[in-house]
Structure 1
Amino acid sequence: MLGFLGALRRGWIPLILVAVLAVSGFAMYRMHGIFGSQQSAGAGGGGVDKIVPFNPKRVLYEVFGPESTVGSISYLDENAQPHRADFTSLPWSVQVTTTLPSMFANLVAQGDSNMIRCRITVNGEVREDQSSTSHDAQAFCLVKAA
């Protein structure tokens, strides 16, 4: 009996610690069961609906000028990544389609003629139309929120 009391005197702190941890663990287990945190977030009973793209935007970049004009074009795609295209005759056009809520549309065209014109159309509506008349003309069109 004396050995037991001696061990109890030396080890009462670790014994209390084990008891507190056991009671805390059991309490946490019960709280999780009461508040339902063991259910997954996707457990709604039904399948997950597929998100279908809606309201696609069709952005049309166009460049006009004398038919024999030679030059280059820089424009942004639906992810605002720059692209460059060279042309040997006009008119020139490219269409970009996106389902993003907004798109930054930018077009710069330069040719070797005295006149050049750029236009940006969004879903059939002309949003920007610029022209330039000068030596090696350059036109710049910008739509901030297509």
Structure 2
Amino acid sequence: MLKRVWLPLALVVVLVLGGFTVSRLRGIFGSEELPTYAGSTPDDSSNSDPKRVVYEVFGDVGAIADINYLDTEGEPVQINDVSLPWSVELETTAPSMAANVVAQGGSDFIGCRISSDGEVHDERSSSAVSAYVYCMAKSA
């Protein structure tokens, strides 16, 4: 009987001793509290100056378009049957914002533009039947 039990018994003893050793070492080396310093945690993100991001979709005057864009939180917004020209201004205090606008119109010409604080980041146009266009700025 001892020949069959000694190996599993030795394994249990080694595991218990190893667990006890690890627990004692963690108690010695990882137990002290780290000091916190005033001002080391970041305050809310409203410390930056507000940034104004403008999406614009343009085309033949009076043309109709379906438009999708990302808001300041990165959530998609869809609006349908909008008369062109169209624009929306978003304001954010984030240091950067991923900006994206997609539009498809019923006319033969459509264009888009993304600008922030007066600086154009992307501008494109398309001339085709039921024209489709997109603009993207990774960091507006």
State the TM bucket, normalised to the shorter chain: 0.5 to 0.7
Matched residue, 2:80: 86
1:55 aligns with 2:45: no
Q: What is the TM-score normalised by the length of structure 1?
A: 0.64
Q: CA RMSD in A?
A: 2.7
CA distance in 1, matches of 2:139, 2:82: 31
1:133 aligns with 2:127: yes
Structure with greater proportional strand content: 2
User: Kindly, what percent of the aligned residue pairs are identical?
Assistant: 44
Pick aligned residue for 2:114 from 117, 120, 125: 120
CA distance in 1, matches of 2:81, 2:50: 28
1:41 is displaced (CA, Å) by 5.9
Q: How many residues align?
A: 109
For structure 2, which runs of at least 5 residues remain unmatched after alignment? Answer: 1-31
CA distance in 1, matches of 2:80, 2:89: 16
Q: Deviations over 1:41-64 (max 9, x none)?
A: 69x7xxxxx855322111000000
Matched residue, 2:9: none
1:76 aligns with 2:67: no
CA contact (8 A) 1:69 1:112 kept: yes
Letter of the 1:78 counterpart: T
Moved over 6 A (4+): none
CA contact (8 A) 1:68 1:88 kept: no
